[in-house]
Chains A and B, each alone.
Chain A
Amino acid sequence: MAIRNLLTRKTLATSPLGMLGFRSLKTFSLPDLPYDYGALEPAISGEIMQLHHQKHHQTYITNYNKALEQLDDAMSKGDASTVVKLQSAIKFNGGGHVNHSIFWKNLAPIREGGGEPPKGSLGWAIDNNFGSLETLIQKMNAEGAALQGSGWVWLGVDKELKHLVVESTGNQDPLVTKGPSLIPLLGIDVWEHAYYLQYKNVKPDYLKNIWKVMNWKYASDVYDKECPES
């Protein structure tokens, strides 16, 4: 794959298009929500969903694209110090895009299965790893409540060791920053923008209510893909 891209780039560079400086840089755009802004009420208000999606997520994407263009430019000039300097902007904004893209899929309106507990192999894995679903939820809520500043709480699966983990990350660090073989199944955004207009300082109430719209089906699908039954 990498070799193919290199060849493509080289071809572009010498082709008429390449002479004009066109690069094969992929940029990103805001994914649609799979439901209306108000569809997760009363757990999460439509006002929050709209701001969160149209403003916060969009801003991460805008800034990520900008950073990628600057990175592409610095790389092609061999400007190593700029490449390194851009890493934090890429982690912040790229992480923001990655994390929020997962988040929208983690949630579902109640009438579309939001809140329905996991069945099948993920349900079993939760019982094996944590004792029960209630225990898992309590653990994640405790981590979410204790997180200082901005960040996320994750349920993940270690694709090498095939066990479930609960982890938190700061700012927009994706789960993979806690372990290269960790795959996110569910993430809870505990940045204040995710709940403040509705829950104010009472983060624990947000954490209690979000489970009512949790899309366990998505989590199960990801889990089954990483840990297929033999």
Chain B
Amino acid sequence: MVAIAVAGITTPLTFPLFPGFRRSSRSSQLRMSQKAGHGVITGKFELRPPPYPLDALEPHMSRSTFEYHWGKHHRAYVDNLNKQIAGTELTGKTLEDVIVATYNSGNLLPPFNNAAQVWNHDFFWESMKPGGGGKPSGEILDLINRDFGSFEEFAKEFKTAAATQFGSGWAWLVYKDKDKKLAVVQSPNAVNPLVLDQVPLLTVDVWEHAYYLDYQNRRPDYISIFMENLVSWDSVSSRLESAKAGAA
């Protein structure tokens, strides 16, 4: 536990499964910093780097975009969240618990935006990989075929959800625990499927800052290139396994 909690690891992870942590492939508890040698949880969240170098997704997502998107936007969400929760009962909670608590059944409390965006961006970096995209295989493909009819139908629905999310937001592939089915959902601003009690498997960020430097207003182009070249189906598959293990 201590070894993995050290911040700054940049080697690509193969996502070992932690039973019980079904909502994220990397436990959010690992995000709390631990003062070396003291084992004290300081209650401060840290900015985790993407699991690949900042230029690894070129030319589809530029290094420049990562320098701003991760280096400025994501960093600011982390810093501002820490400032907001300092001295409150939210410190010491996991990130996911902070998100649910501040979602407050839809009556959003001030730290929600930062907390959810910290989580969303971690999840987004991990949803991509160099040489990604294309069609998956194995169980995830079986479920996609079962629940959408075909991979092409899923891709169309996912791209439509991403293109039609008005303003800022996200599009998701989720696993609905209740009926054990996959679904595509879209969400505005910082909202994510955790608060809807669904298990996120894949996301694409459609806030303008995610694509404006590389694609300007051409959001549909960005989404197509994401699907063709960036999606980490490995991540999606291991999140699905985690979800099903957690549900058992």
Contact = CB atoms under 8 A, between A and B. Distances in A.
Interface in B162-205: 166-169, 188-190
A200 interface: yes
A51 B189 CA distance: 23
A211 interface: no
A192 B190 contact: no
A148 B76 CA distance: 13
A109 B197 CA distance: 51
B167 A200 contact: no
B107 to A, nearest CB: 15
Contact of A92 (B166, B168, B207, B212): B166
Given A149-B189, A200-B72, A193 B167 contact: no
Interface in A44-62: 51, 55-56, 59
B186 to A, nearest CB: 13
A112 B207 CA distance: 34
Nearest to B69: A201
A149 B168 contact: yes
A193 B217 contact: yes
A191 interface: yes
Contacts of A151: 167
Nearest to A148: B113
Contacts of A172: 166-167
Given A148-B190, A149-B167, A201-B73, A192 B68 contact: no
Contacts of B167: 149-151, 170-172, 191
Contacts of A148: 113, 189-190
A201 B72 contact: yes
A59 B113 CA distance: 29
A194 to B, nearest CB: 9
A196 B189 contact: no
B1 to A, nearest CB: 34
Interface residues of A, number: 20
B208 interface: yes
B242 to A, nearest CB: 30
Interface in B70-122: 72-73, 76, 113
Interface in A134-182: 148-151, 170-172
B216 interface: yes
Nearest to A91: B166
Contact of A201 (B76, B190, B216): B76
Specify which of A88, A170, A192, A197 lies most central, judged by the most chain B CB atoms within 10 Å of its CB: A192
A149 B113 CA distance: 9
Contact of B168 (A55, A88, A150, A200): A150
Contacts of B216: 51, 55, 193, 197
B190 A196 contact: no
A197 B168 contact: no
A56 B217 CA distance: 7
Nearest to B112: A148
B166 A171 contact: yes
Contacts of B207: 149, 192
Nearest to B210: A192
Interface in A197-213: 197, 200-201
Nearest to B114: A148
A196 B213 contact: yes
A20 B47 CA distance: 63
A201 B68 contact: yes
Interface of A: 51, 55-56, 59, 88, 92, 148-151, 170-172, 191-193, 196-197, 200-201
20 contacts: A51-B216, A51-B217, A59-B217, A92-B166, A148-B113, A149-B168, A149-B207, A150-B208, A191-B208, A192-B207, A192-B212, A193-B208, A193-B217, A196-B213, A197-B213, A197-B216, A200-B72, A201-B72, A201-B76, A201-B209
Given A59-B217, A192-B207, 12 more contacts: A51-B217, A148-B190, A150-B167, A191-B208, A192-B168, A193-B208, A193-B212, A193-B216, A196-B208, A197-B213, A200-B72, A201-B73
Closest A-B pairs by Cβ, 4 of them: A192-B208, A150-B167, A149-B189, A149-B168
